[in-house]
Homo-oligomer: A and B are copies of this chain.
Amino acid sequence: MNGSEYIAEFLARIGSTRVFTLTGGACAFMVDAVGRHPELTYTCFQHEQSAAMAADAVWRVSRRVGVTIATSGPGATNLITGIACSYFDSIPSIHITGQVNQREASAFHGANVRQSGFQETKIVDMVRPITKYAVMVRSGEELRQELASAYAVAMSGRKGPVLIDVPMDVQKSEVEGDVILQPERSQTSEPTKTVAASIAMTFAKSRRPVVLWGGGVGLAGVEQQVADWLARAGIPFVSSWAGLTCFDHDHPGFLGQIGVYGNRGANFVLQNADAVLVLGSRLDNRQRSGNPRNFATGATVHVIDVDEEELQKFRNDSYRTSHLDFRHLPAVLENVALPEIDAEWRKYVTEMKNRYLGRETSASARRLNSLSPYDVVRRINEVVAADAIIAGDTGAAICWLHQAFKIRRHTLFTAGGNSPMGYALPAAIGAKLAAPHRQVISYNGDGGMQLNIQELQTLKHLHLDVAVVVMNNASYGIVRQFQDSHLGSRYSASQTGYSVPDFGRIAQAYGLRNARVERIDQITPNLFTGGAIVIEVMLSEQTLIEPKLEMGRPINDQFPYLSDAEYASGNRFVDYPRPKSLKGMLT
């Protein structure tokens, strides 16, 4: 067995049977070995960036580890943006890059030249900030050891991507011995009883508790137990974007998602709580706003996380923290003494939910007499399968989706931390390949749709039944809205100088179906079945994200601004003085 065949056999043993690639000279031996392995298949993408994004999506929908193989140099560097998606969102993925023969490498010559071998590039150094582990292997034996290590690292604790760089001579060298499989590395964490006692202490004096459901719950596979516990405990809960997809939104305790683009009711409740239990969320500044001191000012915040560094981050916030392997979270929660919840709080929570959840409207669209993106999302929500997979892109489009889509058994995901444009098309392809029997929707803005539009060819070639929605507001809407707030409505490069192709004609050119939606009733179930399609939804370029936080405000004071009376009604328990002006408060 040579190095390439060893890699193929290793992938088969860990159940990662589908490899995403754009081939090249320095990885041809590995791709060939994959092609010859009876349990493996490869899928060709038209850009390595898409291959990496698709691999990222594989885990999100199937809990199998996505794999890419790419060639040296630009093949490897093209993976980077996709790898970053996995890193920031704690998604395990494996990236195997070809490298020049060791005796052609600059290291062999002992000279620090920019490049020695053809397309030689120091990919390991470059991806170190966005991988859990990255290594170049120098022999067949190192390949055996490092593949096992890298996979174990990817899967242990807070998960993430790994990269193995394999010189061509190692790909061809003989590898002795059977495949090494390392057990997942044991994860230190506080004992469950300690964590349970600590949470109980947070809850002890709380009468207005709320739980924040983060992405870590789903990543550990304990979402059902947590949902059940929340129902039994009767504690209201809100979610982060990453947490949003893990439970049925009809859960009686669910109030919506929080943050800059959060639901108003969820933001009010969180900001008025006296105890916030954070389960596996890193509370990034799209949740807490640019000024974290404005976040849950009346509450004891208690963050439970698998990553100790994330807990270190809160040193200056005087938050309580617990370090926990989330597989033990159900055991912890079972042992938590529950808070006594005020009746007033329950009444308020119900009021906030009824007043705000699912009621986002687009005042801008109404004013313009154009399609409301919230109506579009709700209509898509109605006509797709209850277990459909929705891969979301970024920008204004993803905000509308998260604000208005109601999850049942759907899997809705996006690369929230990295949030690259061009994610949703390759991610949907990866998702469809990993879950071929589920309905898959790729949901994009017009800006993001363009970055990996070449993958329409992949869609066509593989005969994948994926619906590609393009929310076309003919601009980078989220930047445009930012320019309204901070740059005198000068739409430099967001609308001025930016342009949009005719997506319908492009779909046809790739041999795909297309539809153009200008009225809600044109969004019908049959659009989403019967083969790949590009569905262009025509919006005004002046369509806004509503609500949306502007810089300097606490998350419970989003634009469009509520009346002082309604603001006061939402802030019934904690005082959030309202600034008269934003002057001097820009972060």
Report if A501-B73 is in contact (Cβ < 8 Å); known contacts: A113-B307, A126-B129, A493-B35: no
Segment at the B interface, from A19-27, A347-355, A428-436 = A19-27
A487 to B30, CA, bound (A): 11
Q: How far is the CB of A64 from chain B (nearest CB, A)?
A: 20
- Binary flags per residue of A457-496, CB closer than 8 Å to B gives 1, else 0: 1001100000000000000101100110011001011101
Q: Are B498 and A509 in contact (CB under 8 A)?
A: no
Instruction: Find A492's partner among B34, B282, B284 (CB 8 Å cutoff).
Output: B34
* B285 in contact with A110 (CB, 8 Å): no
Cβ B419 vs Cβ A118 within 8 A: yes
Q: How far is the CA of A283 from the CA of B87 in the complex (A)?
A: 38
Q: Is the beta-carbon distance between B420 and A113 smaller than 8 angstroms?
A: no
From B309, B460, B482, give the contact of A28 (CB < 8 A): B482
Q: A23-B492, A106-B313, A457-B450 are in contact. Are A74 and B483 (CB under 8 A)?
A: no
A419 contacts which of B74, B122, B129 (Cβ < 8 Å)?
Answer: B74
Q: Are A21 and B77 in touch, CB under 8 angstroms?
A: no
Decide: A502 and B509 in contact? CB cutoff 8 A. Answer: yes
**With known contacts A126-B127, A451-B46, A310–B24 Cβ distance under 8 A:** no
Of B81, B115, B492, B509, which is within 8 A of A506 by CB? B509
Which of B74, B417, B418 lies in contact with A81, CB distance below 8 A?
B74
CB distance from A528 to the nearest CB of B (A): 23
When each residue 157-173 of chain A gets 1 if its CB lies under 8 Å from chain B and 0 otherwise, what string results?
00010000000010010
* Nearest-CB residue, chain B, relative to A127: B126
User: Is A32's CB under 8 angstroms from B310's CB?
Assistant: no
Q: Chain copies in the assembly?
A: 2
**Chain B min CB distance to A221 (Å):** 21
Which residues of A279-318 have CB atoms within 8 Å of chain B's CB atoms?
282, 284-286, 290, 307, 309-310, 312-313, 315-316
> In the complex, are the beta carbons of A290 and B111 less than 8 A apart?
no
Q: In this complex, what residue of B is CB-closest to A307?
A: B113
Contacts of A510 in B (CB 8 A): 501-502, 506
- Closest Cβ–Cβ distance, residue A113 to chain B (whole Å): 5
Contact of A116 among B313, B453, B486 (CB under 8 A): B313
CB proximity of A378 to chain B, nearest CB, Å: 26
Most buried by B among A74, A451, A508: A74
In the bound complex, residues from chain B placing their C-beta under 8 Å from that of A315 are 109-111
Are B497 and A505 in touch, CB under 8 angstroms? no
Q: Quick one: which of B77, B111, B313, B457 contacts A111, CB cutoff 8 A? A: B313
Interchain nearest-CB distance for A514 vs B (Å): 10
A156 neighbours in B (Cβ, 8 Å)? none
Q: A487 with B422: in contact, given A87-B114, A104-B290, A284-B116 (CB under 8 Å)? A: no
CA distance A106 to B509 in the complex (A): 45
Nearest-CB residue, chain B, relative to A21:
B493
Q: Which of B456, B502, B587 contacts A101 (CB 8 A)?
A: B587
The residues in A between 386 and 412 inclusive whose CB is less than 8 angstroms from any CB of B are none
List the B side residues contacting A478 at CB < 8 Å: 25
Complex: how many Å from CA A500 to CA B510? 10
A90 to chain B, nearest CB (A): 8
Q: Give the nearest-CB partner of A504 in chain B.
A: B509
Q: How far apart are the CA atoms of A112 and B121 in the complex, in Å?
A: 26
A29 is an interface residue with CB less than 8 A from chain B: yes
Neighbouring B residues of A525 by C-beta, 8 Å:
none
Asked if B87 and A492 sit within 8 Å, CB to CB, the answer is no
B81 and A78: CB pair below 8 A?
Answer: yes
Write the nearest CB–CB distance from A508 to chain B, whole angstroms.
7
Tell me if B493 and A44 are in contact (CB < 8 A).
Answer: yes
- Whether the Cβ atoms of A483 and B32 lie closer than 8 Å is yes
| Nearest opposing residue in chain B for A29, CB measure | B487
Among B49, B479, B505, point to the contact of A508 (Cβ < 8 A).
B505
Bound-state Cα–Cα, A493 to B419, Å:
29
A422/B497 contact (C-beta < 8 A), A113-B313, A115-B284, A502-B509 known: no
Collect the chain B residues with CB atoms within 8 Å of residue A286's CB. 118
Q: Note all chain B residues with C-beta closer than 8 A to A21.
A: 493
Cα-based distance from A78 to B483 in the complex (angstroms): 23
Known: A28-B479, A46-B451, A47-B422. 7 other contacts (CB 8 A): A31-B493, A34-B492, A42-B492, A73-B419, A106-B313, A113-B309, A509-B509
Residue pairs across A and B with Cβ atoms less than 8 A apart, 24 shown, are A22-B421, A24-B476, A28-B479, A28-B482, A28-B487, A29-B487, A32-B483, A36-B490, A42-B492, A47-B451, A74-B84, A74-B419, A101-B587, A104-B587, A111-B312, A111-B313, A111-B315, A114-B307, A115-B282, A116-B313, A117-B285, A118-B284, A501-B510, A506-B509
A-B interface, 10 closest residue pairs, ranked by CB to CB distance from nearest: A74-B420, A35-B492, A505-B509, A23-B493, A111-B312, A111-B313, A122-B129, A509-B509, A461-B499, A46-B450
